[in-house]
Structure 1
Amino acid sequence: MSHEEFIHTLPGDPRARPLVEQLSHEYESRYGELFRQAGESAGQEMARYPDVLFTPAEGGLFVLLLRDGVAVAGGAFKRHPDARTAEVKRVWTDRLLRRQGLARRLLVELEVQALRQGYRRLFLTTGFRQPEAVELYLRQGYTALFAPDADLEALRSLPFEKVLSPALTSTPSPAFAESSLR
């Protein structure tokens, strides 16, 4: 039987590297020509946010779901300009382990931790070429902040929000691996 646990760490944690590399590759394969048209790259997008934004001291958090010590899913949130809102970033599941509910579990962990840090609302955006992410967020109770019949390619960035329920914090959460914050 596999052992799974959430740890709170930083994007630069070596255990996160395979997931971050997969996400970067996915961004390139789905949006590469758009990045190039804008004079950017998937690598620049991945480096857009410094690790410090994902530390509790700065109002953020980076979470990995480990299975037998190997990262199988990850994601983060950072402080949004509104002090009661956190912005979810980089939710990702190992491409070989999709359709197991890992992203949903990770999202719930991010919601619980955001509440514990005093947030009452989550905001996020996903790309127009990520229908599986749109489906996940809608199934998890996020509200689309765009018209469903809009030209998604013209929008490019699809915003969502969720008002958090304090009942989430009564859900037991795995131990906080504080020592992994470097």
Structure 2
Amino acid sequence: MTYEIIDTTPLDPIAQPLLDALSLEYATRYREFRKDSAASATEEMLRYPPALFAPPEGAFIVVVREGRTVGGGAFKRYDAVTAELKRIWTHASERRQGLARRVVEELEARALRQGYQRVYLTTGFRQPEAAGLYASSGYEELFDRAIAPEIHFRLPFGKDLLTPGAIDSLNDLRRAEPLGQKP
């Protein structure tokens, strides 16, 4: 099957299926950990202005197959040399086929072209598939695995794009304490 990668913005109607599905997925996966998980998910999806995901400091892509949005993701500036991946998503019918990995690779390539040297991201502790994807894509876990994942709540990862596998360049991204749930 052929996929089309489209550079766009979160405001493009073609991005709406991605944003709606992510919101539903966040609300569902974290229902037992947040009083109003639907409102929390909506708040998360609106947390960043769309302009942050536009070049020259960001990017937003969707993956389309046969006219249907089936995946996508974005990044924004984290600091002068670091892009922060956000909104990585694959439609349920497309999972376990390498599409999410392709989205990550596409975003990494754009980040390099835009001058970033490394990538940072966080994923939720109830998203083991995402954590597995990042670990198998060369991302370093920037959290203490000896602490229960639900204490961390958000699991940070980093990757040096110039020297994949290097970890010293990621030390300033490590947190002294877990990225626990907001009150």
Q: Same fold (TM over 0.5)?
A: yes
User: Which structure: greater helix fraction?
Assistant: 1
Corresponding residue of 2:121: 124
Corresponding residue of 1:174: none
Query: TM-score, normalization: structure 1?
Result: 0.84
Equivalent in 122, 143, 162 of residue 165 of structure 1: 162
Q: Secondary structure at the match of 2:73?
A: strand
Alignment of 1:81-96 (within 5 A): 82-96=79-93
CA contact (8 A) 1:12 1:51 kept: yes
Structure 2 spans left out of the alignment, 5+ residues: 165-183
Residue by residue over 1:14-71, the C-alpha shift from the partner in whole angstroms, topping out at 9 and shown as x without a partner, is: 1121121111011001113433379x521111110111000004x0000111112321
Structure 1 spans left out of the alignment, 5+ residues: 168-182
- Work out which structure has the larger RCO, using CA pairs closer than 8 Å and 6 or more positions apart in sequence: 1
Equivalent in 139, 142, 146 of residue 139 of structure 2: 142
CA contact (8 A) 1:115 1:166 kept: no
Classify 1:68/1:165 alpha carbon distance in 2 versus 1 (closer, same or farther; 3 Å): farther
Distance (Å, rounded) in 1 between the aligned partners of 2:135 and 2:84: 16
Q: Secondary structure at the match of 1:56?
A: coil
Distance (Å, rounded) in 2 between the aligned partners of 1:49 and 1:33: 25
Classify 1:84/1:164 alpha carbon distance in 2 versus 1 (closer, same or farther; 3 Å): same
Corresponding residue of 1:61: 59
% identical aligned pairs: 53
CA RMSD, Structure 1 to Structure 2 (Å): 1.9
Give, as a single letter, the amino acid of the residue that structure 1 aligns with 2:24.
Answer: H
Per the TM alignment, residue 148 of structure 1 is displaced from its structure 2 partner at its CA by 2.1
Give, as a single letter, the amino acid of the residue that structure 2 aligns with 1:32.
Answer: R
CA contact (8 A) 1:32 1:41 kept: no
Distance (Å, rounded) in 2 between the aligned partners of 1:120 and 1:165: 6
Alignment of 1:21-60 (within 5 A): 21-36=20-35, 41-57=40-56, 59-60=57-58
Query: TM-score, normalization: structure 2?
Result: 0.84
Classify 1:117/1:166 alpha carbon distance in 2 versus 1 (closer, same or farther; 3 Å): farther
Count of paired positions: 164
CA contact (8 A) 1:19 1:72 kept: yes
